[in-house]
Amino acid sequence: MTIKTKPSSISDFNSILDKNYQDLNKKREGWYPIMYYNEDVALENKNYITMGINPSLTTKAKTKINKIFEIKFDVDIDGKGEERFNKFNSKIKNKLIEFQNELKYDDEDQIEYFKTLENFFKSVGKNFEEEVFHYDFCQLRNTASGDIKEEVLKNDNYYNLLCKHFDLITKLINPDYIFIFNATLLKILIKNNFFERITKRIKSKDDFEYYNEFMDDNGVCKRNGMKFIVGNQLSSGATSRVYRANLIANVRRLLNS
């Protein structure tokens, strides 16, 4: 099977992920499959992208994934990774995509992270399920995002590969805006000059205007013609009501201008 280097569909993109993550997600006792994306999604309706750092792997998610694999476990829920690896096939992949859709959109199973994103887009007059494509910078399942940050920052090849994947998905979707509400991910991207520099370089992270070197007067960051709106995670303690109100007001202005 020939793997396309420039995807024309989400199916092509998933195939690229499969190939590129072979060395990053090798068979081991704690192995879980990477994140895959819904191949039936109507990309022509997706005007925006939200980007997180990586898919979480909570105990509840592990339990559901093991059920999908039809794997029984007693105490060590992280065990039997080799069995999961050997059982993995396209049928299981499709069930994992369905499970991920439930976490994003289902009234009963939607997790708080996606419920908050849904409420945010509703507040700016947009429909999260219909108009927004959610993407993770890294496809490895791990609730400890700090572990992902450490791995990415110490390995340039790893970081560059993730950037390549990001650029491919944005070219495929061509969104009006990309939203990043994750401080850990922003630190990774800022440290690696992911965005175009707007002003002179600010060397010290303690500088009062640190990050402003990458933002224009509308608070927008840019990369390869793509526009980004960035901030803290909307449901975190760092996100006050007044911060959220200002964010909503600014985004409404930008989307309506």
Residue-wise DSSP of 83-135: HHHHH--HHHHHHHHHHHHHHHH-TTT--HHHHHHHHHHHHTT--HHHHEEEE
The rounded distance, in Å, linking the Cα atoms of 101 and 110 is 9
What is the pLDDT at residue 152? Answer: 85
What is the pLDDT at residue 147? Answer: 82
Report phi then psi at 51, rounded to 5.
Answer: -125, 125
What are the DSSP E strand ranges found in 199-243? Answer: 220-223, 226-231
The rounded distance, in Å, linking the Cα atoms of 175 and 257 is 16
What is the pLDDT at residue 117? Answer: 95
What percentage of the chain has pLDDT greater than the value 90?
63
Q: Tell me whether residue 44 is exposed, middle or buried, using C-beta atoms within 10 angstroms of its C-beta: 0 to 12, 13 to 18, 19 or more.
A: exposed
Ranges of the chain with pLDDT below 50: 1
Q: pLDDT by residue (tens digit) across 9-27? A: 999 999 999 999 999 999 9
Per the DSSP assignment, residues forming a β-bridge with 222 are: 227
CATH topology for the 10-256 domain: Uracil-DNA Glycosylase, subunit E (3.40.470)
Helix (H, G, I), strand (E, B) or coil at 211: coil
